[in-house]
Amino acid sequence: MKIAFIGLGNMGGGMAANLVKAGHDVHAFDLSPEALARAKDNGCTTYTSVREAVQSADAVVSMLPNGAIVNSVYAADVIGHAPTSALLLDCSTIDVGTARKVADAASAAGYAMVDAPVSGGIAAANGGTLTFMVGGSPEAFARAEPILSAMGKAVIHAGASGAGQAAKICNNMILGATMIATCEAFALAEKLGLDLQTFFDISSKASGQSWSMTSYCPVPGVGPASPADNGYQGGFAAALMLKDLKLALEAAQGVGAKVPMGTRAEELYAAFTANGNGGSDFSAIIKTL
C-alpha cells in the first residue's frame, strides 16, 4: 500500500520504518529535517508538506503531539487533500472529544477513520511490538488491522470512534499509579534491609506483580533491561505520562468519575516534571522516594 505517515518523532519514526519493512510504500512528513533524514535512511519517501505526502495515498497514519495539532492537520491538510478512498488512522494520544470531532469531520467528507493510540513506548515502536487500542466502525477496523499489525503485536477493537483514546487514557492511569506504588515498594524494601534483586524475585512471582515490576523495573540492574539501566533515558518520558494523566482526569471530570489514585499520580508527576525531569523516563520518579 501507499501509506502517508505524518509525525516522525520518537514513536512515529520507528513505526514508519516498520511499515517500510512490511513492504509498504511510505510517504513521510515531519517538521523536523533530522526526523525526515532518518525516515529517508529507513526507506521512506519524504515530503516537505502534509498535502504532498497524502496525495494518492491508500492510507494516512498520524502520530502527533496533541489534540489541537491533530485537529488542525486533518482539517487543513488531510481531509479534502487525501483521496476519499484513503483510510485515516490517528495513532496520537489525545482527548476523546477531539478524536470524535475529527472522526465526524472525516466521515462527513466521505472518509473512514479510526483512532488507534498505542501502548509500549519507544522500544516497542522500534521493534514493531506495540499494542493498538482502536476506535471506529467494524468496517474501518477491518481495514486498519493489517496496517497496524505491521507495527504491533496486538491490535484490539475497543469500540466506536473515541473508544481507542478512552482505553489508552484509562490504561495509562493504571500505569502511572502502579509505577509510583512499585517505586515506593522498592524504596521501602531497601530501607528495611531487603536485597532488591531478592525482593524482585519474590514480588514478581507473588500478588505484587505488575507490568511496572516485571517488565519495566524502576531499579537499575534488577529484572529485565529497562530505562533504569540507561540512566532513565529512552522509554516513556515523564512529561508524556503527565500529559496522559491530565487527559484521564479531564475525562473523569467530564463523566463524573472519582479517580483518587489517578489524581494523586497526576500531582506527583506534575511535581516531578516541574523540577526539570520531564525528559527522563517516567520510572525515574523513584528518585523522589
User: What are the angstrom distances between the C-alpha of 199 and each of 92, 101, 223, 288?
Assistant: 37, 47, 11, 20
Cα pseudo-dihedral 113, 114, 118, 124, rounded to 10 = -60
Confidence (pLDDT) at 172: 96
Segments in the chain below pLDDT 70:
none
Closest CA to 77 of 43, 47, 41: 47
| Catalytic one of 168, 243, 246, 287 | 168
pLDDT at 27: 98
What does pTM read for this prediction?
A: 0.92
Residue type, 41: D
**What single string gives the DSSP state of each residue in 16-30?**
HHHHHHTT-EEEEE-
CA dist 235 to 26, 133, 140, Å?
A: 25, 19, 30
In the prediction, which pLDDT does 66 show? Answer: 96
pLDDT per position as a tens digit, 173-228: 999 999 999 999 999 999 999 999 999 999 999 999 999 999 999 999 999 999 99
Q: Which helix (H) or strand (E) holds 103?
A: helix 96-108
User: What pLDDT shows up at residue 234?
Assistant: 86
pLDDT at residue number 171: 96
Quote the pLDDT of residue 121: 86
168 classed as catalytic: yes
Q: What is the pLDDT of residues 169-188, one digit of tens each?
A: 999 999 999 999 999 999 99
What pLDDT is attached to residue 4? 98
Half-sphere exposure of 90 (CA within 13 A, CB side): 37
